[in-house]
Amino acid sequence: MSKKKNKVVTIYDIANELNYSPSTISRALKNHKSIGKDTTKQIQETAKKLGYRPNSLAASLRNNRSNNIGILIARINRPFISSLISGVENSARAAGYNVLISQSDDNYKNEVANAKALYDSRVCGIVASLSMETKNADHFKQFLEQDIPVVFVDRVPSDLNSYRVIIDNYSAGYKATEHLIQQGCTRIAHFAGAQHLNIYKLRKNGYIDALKAHGITPDKELLIYMNTMSFEEGQEATSKLLNMKNPPDAIFSSNDTAAVSAIMQAKKQGVKIPEELAVIGFNDDPIASIVEPALSSISHPAMKMGELSTKRILEHADKKIEQGVSEITVLDTEVIVRASSLRKK
Amino acid sequence: MSKKKNKVVTIYDIANELNYSPSTISRALKNHKSIGKDTTKQIQETAKKLGYRPNSLAASLRNNRSNNIGILIARINRPFISSLISGVENSARAAGYNVLISQSDDNYKNEVANAKALYDSRVCGIVASLSMETKNADHFKQFLEQDIPVVFVDRVPSDLNSYRVIIDNYSAGYKATEHLIQQGCTRIAHFAGAQHLNIYKLRKNGYIDALKAHGITPDKELLIYMNTMSFEEGQEATSKLLNMKNPPDAIFSSNDTAAVSAIMQAKKQGVKIPEELAVIGFNDDPIASIVEPALSSISHPAMKMGELSTKRILEHADKKIEQGVSEITVLDTEVIVRASSLRKK
DNA sequence: AAAATAAAGGCAATCGGTTGCGTAAAATAT
DNA sequence: ATATTTTACGCAACCGATTGCCTTTATTTT
């Protein structure tokens, strides 16, 4: 009994058992109308009795289309991303699809390789959020050429026409800045992310326009361009800002990590939050509610974005939407006001 | 040009182009020794020229084995889990495997359904961490019967023999408790998770034995059994503990969420941390470094556990390890001391 | 130079469903 | 009672790569 691998039951086994042809079995199992009611019932019962499990590989091969949705993101272990994945997974599974994940670690080459791998495994659609390094989205064309839907989420390319599920980053940046203005802040700094990623560019644009709309002239010294928006970068920038002779009275950070580091750095330097420095972040990560004072932030409907992405893919398969059409879904964000920016009560 | 789906290149196309048989193409592409050097080179070049991409579905069907590793966990968007997944994904991809994820939302029925789905998609191995509700692991037997390796991680079943990648929960609980004792605490409370999950049971046992070893008699009133160890449960329990006539001077929580809520609740009630209440958590989630005072915790090598899980699966495929053999990998944990438990300096 | 061995490829079955087309029997229409 | 339609099911090709076995040609052995 070295190999007690139980024999796997196939439709051929059912066919033999009942003296029907495999095609009848196949059809009966999918409730095809051309098979008699009684026959269908009998076949389905026998299938269950024998412990039949469909081999989806075979079906996928024949249909040239798997039931797998691919996810291509930068890093799994980030609150926003893991919630996004969670949303994709839930809705995909509910529809009978599996989810393949791949992470690029914010590396362009990895992203290209992962796109290849997902393509080769014949995913029926892909949900993608670009790496920090990605400036060219040609590696997604292979999917479009085969009419495999690509849904870009959050970090989307500017040069490729495809589905998008995004938030209105401009408006979010505008709202965040306006909130600070309404709290009485006038010298508002901004932590901006890499500008080739439009999410960061748009947030910055919203910031600038909000300032202007309220009669504040943007000060270049208060606009900090960052690389990865890490905790360290945030600390350093905050320290620099606070040591200016005319320091800012608020910071709008494009992510929560840097915003939290700003809070911690400010406290370390004895700067009171929000009285002397109001802070608002972006994403509404769990740490936002934990840091003290609690960090105001822009909430990002991550889970929902995942669900909508799945929906786009499934719709594409159903409707046979024409190629080249790009349907863009823009979701609302919300300003979550917490203590870190609440000057007026 | 309604459908400009470019024709996909197969080995047959290459065969026609070069007047070789498909079998020769197949072998040449895998550098089979029975194909001549020159021929192999020519075929590989032509394959590249034509843009050939292997159809892994076909290969998987033929080999009755996909290159997909399945992950079955409770919730993706938890720091520990997303890091675990990250570890699995990285190492799997490096070895040319894809990763399928599924989450049960801590629901037993979902877990069973997901196990089925992963089985049906012919994963070549599975990494699983049980849901809170799971008390029976029979739904994993289908894999073992087909000699598909199952690696249980973290939340492992007690009644099924398979690979395991775990930490020494008993020792971690012991160390955490001992650390509090060394800091001068004597009335140490414990937030224990659902006891049918051995991780929580073992942590609790470590806690109790550490107390005894140091001459402290465990007090039942200080041992709080929780359900999900949520923020709310932690708050409530903390409030109850602090209102006792003889309140604890320390809390060892089986997770960080509840530990953080304990800190916040204690602060709200004016209890000083760590002077009046020392706190240590478990997992070393990101929030542990953010909360104030920073939370001491037990670090859990999540990423590494993921990598080792992948390794087990790949080894299984290579070595054709006998069935029924369970190889258990136990990893070390580390006590991360931060301000929340640092009474002696 | 004859025999044995090695090298290089081809044939055809196989993995397990799926599906267009065809057909026999039953039901309905005329 | 005959013609027509419907119902119920089978045949066989197909999806694309893999592989055991066989054949042919080249190389080595004796």
Write the pLDDT tens digit of every residue in B120-143.
999 999 999 999 999 999 999 999
Q: How far is the CA of A21 from the C1' of C18 (A)?
A: 13
**Cβ neighbours of residue B275 closer than 8 Å, sequence gap 6 or more:** B343
What residue in A sits closest to B267 (Cα-Cα)?
A292
φ/ψ of A251, rounded to 5, equals -135, 130
Beta-carbon neighbour count of residue A12 at 10 Å? 11
Mean pLDDT of chain A: 94
Rounded-to-integer distance, Cα A49 and Cα A52, Å? 8
**Are B72 and B111 a contacting pair, CB within 8 Å?**
yes
DSSP for A240-274 reads HHHTSSS--SEEEESSHHHHHHHHHHHHHTT--TT
Domain A63-167+302-332: assigned CATH number: 3.40.50.2300
**Are A86 and A306 a contacting pair, CB within 8 Å?**
yes
Q: Which residues of A touch B85 (CB under 8 A)?
A: 76-77, 101
Q: Across residues B265-292, what is the average pLDDT?
A: 97
Rounded-to-integer distance, Cα B213 and Cα B192, Å? 19
Q: Across residues B155-177, what is the average pLDDT?
A: 95
- Measured in whole angstroms, how far is the alpha carbon of residue B231 from the centre of its chain? 21
Point out which residues pair with A127 in neighbouring strands: A71, A151
Write the pLDDT tens digit of every residue in B45-55.
999 999 999 99
Q: How far is the CA of B122 from the C1' of D21 (A)?
A: 29
Question: Does nucleic acid strand D have an atom less than 7 angstroms from the CB of A120?
Answer: no
- Measured in whole angstroms, how far is the alpha carbon of residue B289 from the centre of its chain? 21
Residue type, B315: E
Question: Does nucleic acid strand D have an atom less than 7 angstroms from the CB of A42?
Answer: no
What residue in B sits closest to A142 (Cα-Cα)?
B6
pLDDT at B323: 52
Q: Shortest CA–C1' contact from A57: which nucleotide? A: C16
Chain D footprint positions (protein CB, under 7 Å): 7-12, 14-20
Q: Across residues A21-45, what is the average pLDDT?
A: 94
Q: Shortest CA–C1' contact from A32: which nucleotide? A: D8
Instruction: Name the residue facing B291 among A119, A120, A290 (closest C-beta).
Output: A290
Write the pLDDT tens digit of every residue in B84-96.
999 999 999 999 9
Rounded-to-integer distance, Cα B7 and Cα B13, Å? 10
pLDDT at A334: 97
- Burial of B29: CB neighbours in 10 Å, binned 0-12, 13-18, 19+: middle
How many A×B Cβ pairs under 8 Å? 146
Question: Does nucleic acid strand D have an atom less than 7 angstroms from the CB of B67?
Answer: no
CB contact under 8 A, A55 and B120: yes
**Cβ neighbours of residue B158 closer than 8 Å, sequence gap 6 or more:** B198
Q: Is pLDDT above 60 for B263?
A: yes
Q: Which residues of A touch B310 (CB under 8 A)?
A: none
CB contact under 8 A, B89 and A76: yes
Q: Which residues of B touch A67 (CB under 8 A)?
A: 121
- Burial of B78: CB neighbours in 10 Å, binned 0-12, 13-18, 19+: buried
Write the pLDDT tens digit of every residue in A328-341.
999 999 999 999 99
**Are B138 and B109 a contacting pair, CB within 8 Å?**
no
pLDDT at B344: 79
- Strand pairing of A150-153 and A125-128? parallel
Q: Which residues of B touch A57 (CB under 8 A)?
A: 57, 60-61, 66, 121-122
Q: How much of chain B exceeds pLDDT 70, in percent?
A: 96
State in Å, rounded, how far the first CA of chain B is from the last one.
76
Q: Is pLDDT above 50 for A16?
A: yes
Residue of B4, B11, B89, B101 to mutate, interface with A, max A Cβ within 10 Å: B101
A188-211 burial, b at 16+ Cβ within 10 Å, e below that, comes to bbbbbbbeebbbbbbbbbbbbbbb
Q: Is pLDDT above 70 for A322?
A: no
Residue type, A26: S
In CATH terms, the fold of domain B67-167+302-331 is: Rossmann fold (3.40.50)
Q: What is the CA radius of gyration of chain B?
A: 26
**Are A137 and A159 a contacting pair, CB within 8 Å?**
yes
In the sheet that B188-192 helps form, which strands lie side by side, from edge to edge?
B223-225, B188-192, B250-253, B278-280
Rounded-to-integer distance, Cα A39 and Cα B132, Å? 42
What residue in A sits closest to B83 (Cα-Cα)?
A77
Rounded-to-integer distance, Cα B70 and Cα A99, Å? 10
pLDDT band at B6 (very low <50, low <70, confident <90, very high): low
- Nearest CA to B86 among A307, A79, A101? A101
Q: Is the dihedral of CA A225, A228, A234, A240 positive or negative?
A: negative
DSSP SS3 for B163: strand
Among protein residues, the one whose C-alpha sits closest to the C1' atom of C9 is B24
Write the pLDDT tens digit of every residue in B175-204.
999 999 999 999 999 999 999 999 999 999
What residue in A sits closest to B75 (Cα-Cα)?
A86
Domain B11-54: assigned CATH number: 1.10.260.40
DSSP state of A222: G
Among A189-198, A312-321, B226-235, B295-304, the minimum mean pLDDT is found in A312-321
Domain segments of chain A as ranges? 11-54, 63-167+302-332, 169-299+335-341
Does domain B169-300+335-341 sit in CATH 3.40.50.1980?
A: no
Instruction: Name the residue facing A57 among B57, B117, B323 (closest C-beta).
Output: B57
Where are any strands of DSSP class E within B203-291?
223-225, 250-253, 278-280
- CA–CA distance from A14 to each of A19, A50, A61, A298, B146 (Å)? 8, 8, 21, 56, 20
Rounded-to-integer distance, Cα B192 and Cα B341, Å? 18
- Burial of B57: CB neighbours in 10 Å, binned 0-12, 13-18, 19+: buried
pLDDT at B4: 42
Q: How far is the CA of A151 from the C1' of C6 (A)?
A: 54
Residue of A7, A29, A82 to mutate, interface with B, max B Cβ within 10 Å: A82
Q: What is the CA radius of gyration of chain A?
A: 26
pLDDT band at A323 (very low <50, low <70, confident <90, very high): low
Q: Which tokens hold the place of B80?
A: 């520990």
Where are any strands of DSSP class E within chain B?
68-73, 98-103, 125-128, 150-153, 163-167, 188-192, 223-225, 250-253, 278-280, 297-299, 328-331, 334-336
- Strand pairing of A334-336 and A150-153? unpaired
**For the domain with range A169-299+335-341, which CATH number is right: 3.30.1330.60, 3.40.50.2300, 3.30.70.120, 3.40.50.1820?**
3.40.50.2300
- Strand pairing of A334-336 and A297-299? antiparallel
**Are A102 and B93 a contacting pair, CB within 8 Å?**
yes
φ/ψ of A191, rounded to 5, equals -95, 110
Q: Is pLDDT above 80 for B108?
A: yes
Q: Which tokens hold the place of A206?
A: 């919203």
pLDDT band at A7 (very low <50, low <70, confident <90, very high): confident
Is there a common fold for B11-54 and B67-167+302-331? no
Helices and strands (H and E) in chain B: how many: 13, 12
Q: Is pLDDT above 60 for A1?
A: no
Which residues fall inside 7 Å of strand C, measured at CB?
A 8, 10-12, 22-23, 26-27, 29-30, 52-55, 58-59, 61-63; B 19-24, 33-40, 58, 61-62, 64
What residue in B sits closest to A295 (Cα-Cα)?
B290
